[in-house]
Chain A
């Protein structure tokens, strides 16, 4: 979706390194969602952010939503091979009746 831009498109990191993935919206959204996809499989819900400035963590993954609710970052601390996959951000926009997705960031973690 051109409404959501993710960067980088792909990322290769050494195991144990930290990394950040960004998701930028062209307009203010109601909610921002992060999903993870293993290759050739369905998406798994990670986190939902609905308030400006909100931050949530799950194990070693932290996601933040900026005050203007147009940009989110996903940060992984001390990456592991199990973190590899495609990370997609999704957004709930005013006036829409469905989730809009970014193109995804493909993460590879080298042991």
Chain B
């Protein structure tokens, strides 16, 4: 069953805590993306990776970190430096010459602050 798996579906963060969101894919796509979605707003790019062991900052990278040690996996860590982390987080893989002409999304992780 090909696709993108995000876990957990719901996550709660305590003050000063780092949390990690998982994103795994078996579509064999090189490009992977992390977006943040806030109510009434479009998706904003946090980080993206077009190849293993390489990643680039998006528009709102501050307070977040990523790694890309394997093609299949692109975990996102929300650090304590991110002061407003409550949002819906979406992971995607991309196809096309530039890696994003067609995006495939996971089912998302809702992060809330306790």
> What residues make up the interface of A, taking CB atoms closer than 8 Å to B?
1, 4, 9, 31, 33, 35, 40-45, 48, 88, 90, 92, 97-104
Contact = CB atoms under 8 A, between A and B. Distances in A.
B43 interface: yes
A108 B100 CA distance: 29
Contacts of B105: 42-44
B100 A101 contact: no
Q: Which of A42, A97, A102, A104 counts the most B-chain CB atoms under 10 A from its CB?
A: A42
The B interface is mostly helix, strand or loop, or mixed, namely strand
B43 to A, nearest CB: 4
A92 B42 contact: no
Interface of B: 4, 6, 33, 35, 40-45, 48, 56, 58, 88, 90, 92, 94, 98-108, 110
Contacts, number: 62
B60 to A, nearest CB: 12
Contacts of A41: 107-108
A31 B108 contact: no
A103 B40 contact: yes
Contacts of B42: 1, 4, 88, 100-104
B101 A48 contact: yes
Given A43-B90, A98-B33, 12 more contacts: A33-B102, A33-B103, A42-B90, A45-B102, A45-B103, A92-B101, A97-B56, A97-B98, A97-B99, A98-B48, A99-B100, A104-B40
A1 B37 CA distance: 11
A65 B49 CA distance: 30
Highest count of chain A CB atoms <10 Å: which of B6, B43, B99, B100: B43
30 contacts: A1-B44, A4-B42, A33-B101, A33-B102, A33-B103, A40-B88, A40-B108, A41-B107, A41-B108, A42-B4, A42-B92, A42-B108, A43-B90, A43-B92, A43-B103, A43-B105, A45-B102, A45-B104, A88-B42, A88-B43, A92-B98, A97-B100, A98-B33, A98-B48, A98-B58, A99-B100, A100-B42, A101-B43, A102-B42, A103-B40
Contact of A48 (B41, B58, B99, B102): B102
